[in-house]
Chains A and B, each alone.
Chain A
Amino acid sequence: MGDQRRLLGPTKGGDELERELLGSLGDVSPPAGAKGETWNRLAVQVAAVATVATTSTALYAVARSGAGTALQATKIFTAKVVAGVALAGSMAAGGGWLLHQQSAANRAVHPSVERVPPPAPLPPPAPSFESKEIVAPVAPVPAERPSKGLEARSRSDLLSLESRMLTDARAQLRGGDPRGALTTLERLRARSPKGVLTQERDVLAIQIASALGDTAAAKRKAKEFVDAYPESPHAPQLRRLATDP
């Protein structure tokens, strides 16, 4: 195509008006900070998908193992919790994106992350990858500050750890080991007291309480959750749960 000149090339093909119009489209580079912000959103979205994905099979597993009236009642209760959470979580992580796309025109911000469980209030971010990378608390504070690269990796690893431990706890719950799930959840709380996926933690705690037969605690926690996060995608199901006689 060496014989074709570009309209905006040095030889200036086309007329002046065409060149001026095309030239006005010049720079479409991303604004400062866009790269880091997009990465953070991606991390939250992927983490949410990872923690929620395994939940969708929980209802099937729980419902399949029913036996004994009292135990069955507990399992049905648990199944309702799990089913609702899985549905809400899936909507948050997947369908939320589509819903968001349809309404994006009316928003100046990019709230696709709003559809997934929003992160907990973050501690003051340390300088890192474009200064806005997701920050998870690190305790205890090391005597020497690690390099920026190590900090970024540390934060990424913490989010990964949180996601993995939640997944493990869900697997234990699904496998009929609610006490093991509770232990994993407590370990996670000890290692990362606040974390990013706080709603996922709370919801899992409700599931565990219900699986342990502590229906009153499950209802109380569900009510607390709804009060704390009335707009959460988990809220409608947990609201019904909290008021379920």
Chain B
Amino acid sequence: MALFSPEFRAIYDEHFEFVWRSLRRLGVREADTMDLVQKVFLAVHVGWGDFEGRSKIRTWLFGICRRVASDYRRSSPIRREIVTDAAAMDLRRDDQHPAGAESRQRATLAEAILNRMPEPQRVVFVLFELEEMSGEDIAELLNLSIGTVRSRLRLARERFRREVKRLAAADPMGRKEAV
């Protein structure tokens, strides 16, 4: 008897990158992503027998990713705050950094803004804006109505815009160089 079934291996092969990207988009740091991907697929391995196929496999996987990422974020609030504060400070000191660091700082800052969003808004925002999924696909993936997806996206965009303006206002001189 093989340790893993061929079906499990096929799922792993097909969806590994999707799980990785989903976790990253859900706020998991790159250094921690491999551990959490492992955790997601361990859950898949254990729960495969209970998967009844009533939802798409990607919907099921994404649900596991959300739970795992949610636990991760809850377990590391201090780390997230450190990242957030560091990003804000980096924005103000950007002109002291070499150009190669700028994109990293921008990414850190953007992640910090996303991390401040309520998780339901963040998920919709990320799937729409970064993964370029359609509203209909997001609704199906998250098992939501299309109206709810629209509403969450609107709120997330407002929040994102507010945060960006706040940061820009806090450092009007640094905006051009920093961002």
Please classify the interface of chain B as helix (H, G, I), strand (E, B), loop, or mixed, using the class held by over half of its residues. Answer: helix
Interface centre among A4, A43, A107 (most CB of B within 10 A): A4
Q: Give the CA-CA distance A25 to B31 in the complex, in Å.
A: 16
**Distance to closest chain B CB from A137 (angstroms):** 17
Does B107 make an interface contact (CB < 8 A)?
yes
Asked whether A112 lies within 8 Å of B24 as measured between CB atoms, the reply is: no
Q: Are B136 and A1 in contact (CB under 8 A)?
A: yes
- Which of A29, A41, A104 is most buried by chain B, counting CB atoms within 10 A of its CB? A104
Contact of A34 with B by CB under 8 A: yes
User: Which of A34, A43, A50, A164 neighbours the largest number of chain B CB atoms within 10 Å of its CB?
Assistant: A34
The answer for the CA separation of A37 and B30 in the assembled complex, in Å, is 15
Tell me, in angstroms, the Cα distance from A98 to B149 when the chains sit together. Answer: 33
Task: Give residues 12-35 of A contacting B (CB, 8 Å).
Answer: 14, 17-18, 20-22, 24-26, 28-30, 34-35
Asked if B42 is at the interface (CB within 8 A of a chain A CB), the reply is: yes
A190 within 8 Å of B (CB atoms): no
Q: Which residues of A contact B75 (CB under 8 A)?
A: 101-102
Binds A, one of B57-65, B92-100, B108-116: B108-116
- Does A156 contact B149, Cβ atoms closer than 8 Å? no
C-alpha gap A105/B1 in the complex (Å): 37
The one of B31, B45, B109, B175 that contacts A108, using a Cβ cutoff of 8 Å:
B31
Report A204 CB to chain B, min CB distance, Å: 18
Q: Which residues of B contact A35 (CB under 8 A)?
A: 16-17
> Size of chain A's interface in residues, with CB distance under 8 A?
46
Asked whether A188 is an interface residue with its Cβ less than 8 Å from the other chain, the reply is no
Bound CA span A163–B2, Å:
10
Partner of B38, one of A14, A38, A160, A163: A38
Task: Tell me the total A-B contact number using a CB cutoff of 8 A.
Answer: 130
Q: Does A159 contact B (CB under 8 A)?
A: yes
Using Cβ atoms and an 8 Å threshold, which residues of chain B touch A100? 35
Q: Contact string, A83-111, partner B, CB cutoff 8 A, digits 1/0?
A: 00000000000000100111011011010
Collect the chain B residues with CB atoms within 8 Å of residue A157's CB: 2
Q: How far is the CA of A37 from the CA of B128 in the complex (A)?
A: 30
Q: Which residue of B lies closest to A37 (CB)?
A: B34
| Complex interface bits, B118-156 against A, C-beta within 8 A gives 1, otherwise 0 | 000000000011101011100000000010011001000
Chain B, range 1-49, C-beta contacts under 8 Å to A: 1-4, 12, 16-17, 20-21, 24-25, 29-35, 37-39, 41-42, 45
Residue A45 at the B interface, CB < 8 A? yes
Contact (Cβ within 8 A) B164 A45:
no
Name B2's contact: one of A22, A25, A101, A160 (CB within 8 Å).
A160
- Interface assignment of B103: CB less than 8 Å from any CB of chain A: yes
Min CB–CB distance A35 → chain B (angstroms): 5
The answer to whether B113 and A21 touch across the interface, beta carbons within 8 angstroms, is yes
Does A7 interact with chain B (Cβ within 8 Å)?
Answer: yes
B35 CB contacts on chain A under 8 angstroms: 100-101, 104, 110, 112
Taking a contact as CB atoms closer than 8 A, the residue among A6, A24, A26, A110 that contacts B34 in the complex is A110
Interface residue? A60 (CB, 8 A): no
Partner of B107, one of A24, A34, A110, A112: A24
> A24-B106, A100-B35 are contacts. A46–B164 as well, Cβ < 8 Å?
no
What are 5 A-B pairs at a CB distance below 8 A? A1-B136, A1-B153, A6-B132, A43-B3, A110-B32
| B interface residue numbers (CB < 8 A to A) | 1-4, 12, 16-17, 20-21, 24-25, 29-35, 37-39, 41-42, 45, 71-72, 75-76, 79, 103, 106-107, 109-111, 113-114, 128-130, 132, 134-136, 146, 149-150, 153, 157, 160-161, 164, 168, 175, 179
Residue numbers of A with Cβ under 8 A of B are 1, 4, 6-9, 14, 17-18, 20-22, 24-26, 28-30, 34-35, 37-39, 41-43, 45-47, 50, 97, 100-102, 104-105, 107-108, 110, 112, 156-157, 159-160, 163-164
